[in-house]
């Protein structure tokens, strides 16, 4: 059976459609790759692209996309709400069918080596492809962002895994790795306050918040000098608050890295409860990129049970209740054929596509 992997590169351009198209054209020019989704954001100035195929084709398409991004994106002029460090900020490979995580990580290392060698770009490996434990977490690698790269690259502890340890002002640095499926999910609040959105983010994210001394207001530390933290309520969730000018609202922006521990509907509900306690209201939410069908069906069943209704309804009805309950269509229409990975893989024949997706 053929192996399938997914690639979800994040490019630091979300405002110029012509630049985005040049990158996606480079991807689609590679035979054997299917482009599933292109999700630009003006406020974040970032585009998340999703494509799938057999490993060799996907890695070739990823390389061509990274090369094109180096040509058409100038990081020295980049501004945006999302943390970033390069023209291609991060490029994860995700095992989909008939391939192990370690095999996928090996493909990520091959990609990283080629990008570093041929494009003269600093490359860091993360998650399952990480060269050392302290580099597994993307947020740790990206700390300091693009502006902090000159200092980071001068530090021997942060020598890139591939490519030169020198600052590339135009293209920055790129993080490449292999990881499990991740859901990028934003919850909309009826406020414009980033501080209030962050308060919800700190309530729910696994890493929680730093505890401050009530008397001094300064961070409290443990015996080893590390800040004391109060854990958040959701396992496998990273979150920040931000303001999105194009929508005129603040959001809690989450990466759900463990969809077994934290299903989509639970992330929504925890944000709703936190916002309620703080005098705010969740008005809706949005998915960035694609989502597995099972996640949406599970959400539909949850909300039907909450209404004390039967869950013995059609797949279409479960999807409808999930979309309406979480307000996934508040900011833009939600088309299951586009946003659900199984449907997108084989539009018009979702039953066959389900067989291609690794079930959890």
Residues labelled catalytic: 82
Q: What Cα–Cα distance (Å) separates residue 43 from each residue in 105, 253, 321?
A: 32, 13, 29
Sign of CA dihedral 96, 25, 32, 125: negative
Distances (CA, A) of 279 to 6, 196, 231, 272: 40, 10, 22, 11
Beta carbons of 271 and 187 less than 8 angstroms apart: yes
**DSSP code at position 223:** T
- Could you tell me if 199 and 229 are in contact, meaning their C-beta atoms sit under 8 angstroms apart? no
Looking only at the bridges linking them, the beta strands covering 174-178 and 123-127 are: parallel
Cβ contact 254:266 at 8 Å: no
The tokens describing 77, both together, are 């002029």
Is the four-CA dihedral 122, 164, 149, 170 of positive or negative sign?
Answer: negative
CA distance 153 to 165: 5
How many C-beta atoms surround the C-beta of residue 163 within 10 A? 22
Asked whether the beta carbons of 111 and 156 are under 8 A apart, the reply is no
Distance, CA of 78 to CA of 356 (rounded, Å): 38
């Amino acid at each position: 059976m053929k192996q399938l992997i997914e690639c979800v590169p994040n490019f630091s351009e979300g405002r110029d459609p012509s630049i985005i198209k040049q990158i996606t054209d480079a991807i689609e020019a590679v035979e054997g790759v299917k482009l599933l989704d292109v999700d630009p954001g003006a406020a974040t100035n970032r585009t998340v692209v999703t494509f799938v195929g057999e490993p060799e084709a996907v890695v070739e398409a990823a390389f061509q996309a990274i090369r094109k991004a180096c040509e058409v994106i100038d990081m020295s002029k980049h501004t945006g709400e999302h943390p970033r460090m390069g023209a291609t900020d991060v490029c994860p490979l995700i095992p989909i069918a008939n391939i192990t995580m370690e095999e996928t990580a090996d493909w990520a290392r091959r990609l990283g080596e080629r990008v570093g060698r041929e494009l003269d770009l600093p490359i860091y490996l993360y998650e399952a492809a990480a060269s050392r434990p302290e580099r597994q977490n993307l947020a740790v690698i990206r700390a300091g962002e693009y502006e902090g790269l000159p200092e980071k690259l001068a530090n021997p502890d942060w020598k890139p895994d591939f490519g030169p340890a020198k600052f590339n002002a135009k293209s920055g640095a790129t993080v490449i790795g292999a990881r499990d499926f991740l859901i990028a999910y934003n919850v909309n609040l009826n406020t414009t306050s980033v501080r209030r959105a962050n308060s919800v983010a700190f309530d729910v994210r696994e890493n929680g918040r730093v505890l401050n001394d009530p008397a001094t207001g300064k961070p409290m530390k443990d015996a080893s000098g590390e800040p004391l933290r109060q854990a958040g309520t959701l396992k496998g969730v990273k979150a920040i608050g931000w303001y999105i000018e194009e929508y005129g609202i603040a959001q809690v922006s989450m990466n759900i890295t463990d969809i077994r521990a934290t299903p989509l509907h639970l992330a929504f509900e925890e944000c709703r409860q936190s916002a309620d306690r703080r005098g705010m209201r969740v008005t809706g939410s949005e998915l960035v990129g694609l989502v597995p069908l099972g996640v949406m069906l599970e959400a539909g069943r949850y909300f039907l049970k909450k209404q004390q209704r039967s869950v013995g309804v059609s797949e279409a009805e479960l999807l409808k209740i999930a979309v309406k309950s979480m307000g996934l269509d508040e900011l833009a229409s939600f088309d299951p054929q586009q946003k659900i990975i199984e449907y997108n893989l084989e539009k018009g024949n979702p039953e066959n596509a389900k067989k291609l997706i690794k079930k959890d």
